Amino acid sequence: MTWRCSRSRHARRQQGFSLLEVIAAILLLAVTFTALMKVAGSAISLTQNAAEHSEAAMWARGKLDSAFVGESVKLGSSSGQFNAKFRWQLDVTPWDQVGAAPPGARLHLYQLDLDVMWGPPGHPRSAHFRTLRLSGLDLAAGSNPLQPAL
């Protein structure tokens, strides 16, 4: 009989969770869910940022690859827009390094600095690209400057 009595008391204590345990479990679940949503939001933001930088790099590559092809190099700054979202500014300067080209050389190196900008004017985003372009008077005329003149 004693055994039966202690068993029924033990069964009554194990019937369910207390209200405090349920509230603690829900609070823990809410905190965990909030943290996971912040991580997911950050991942989406980083993915969008990477996609915008990749698109800017594609626009820049196209602009730098086609700059002054079939025309002579023009020193100075120019700017424009690729589309409604992306705009650009190109600065062309002679690239002078000590001993790079002897005086009277027919070929010259030019540095092309391209800034690709996007986003709202109050918080613009940008990416900077730089390359060198070989050019000379003979290149613009269409002859091969490495071939000796006859």
Under DSSP, the state recorded for 137 is H
Instruction: List, for residues 58-84, the tens digit of each pLDDT value.
Output: 999 999 998 888 888 889 999 999 999
**Total domain count for the chain?**
1
142: left (phi over 0), alpha (psi -120 to 50) or beta: left
Instruction: List, for residues 10-53, the tens digit of each pLDDT value.
Output: 555 567 889 999 999 999 999 999 999 999 999 999 999 999 99
Q: Is 102 within the bounds of a domain?
A: no
Of the candidates 62, 82, 54, 80, the one whose C-alpha atom is nearest the C-alpha of residue 131 is 62
Instruction: List, for residues 96-113, the tens digit of each pLDDT value.
Output: 765 555 666 678 889 999
CA angle in degrees (0–180, nearest 5) for 62-87-59: 20
The range of the structural domain enclosing residue 61 comes to 18-97+107-141
Q: Is 90 within the bounds of a domain?
A: yes
Q: Is 74 within the bounds of a domain?
A: yes
| Per-residue confidence (pLDDT) for residue 95, from 0 to 100 | 86
- Cα distances from 76 to residues 23, 73, 95, in angstroms, run 68, 10, 13
Comparing 25-29, 38-42, 85-89, 137-141, the range with the smallest average pLDDT is 137-141
| Per-residue confidence (pLDDT) for residue 150, from 0 to 100 | 38
Instruction: List, for residues 111-135, the tens digit of each pLDDT value.
Output: 999 999 999 888 889 999 999 988 8
Q: Is 79 within the bounds of a domain?
A: yes
Q: Is 4 within the bounds of a domain?
A: no
- Cα distances from 113 to residues 12, 87, 117, in angstroms, run 79, 14, 13
Q: Locate 142 and state its tokens.
A: 């269409």
Q: Is 2 within the bounds of a domain?
A: no
Q: Is 126 within the bounds of a domain?
A: yes
pLDDT tier for residue 141 given thresholds of 50, 70 and 90:
very low
Q: Is 10 within the bounds of a domain?
A: no
CATH number, domain with residue 64:
3.30.1300
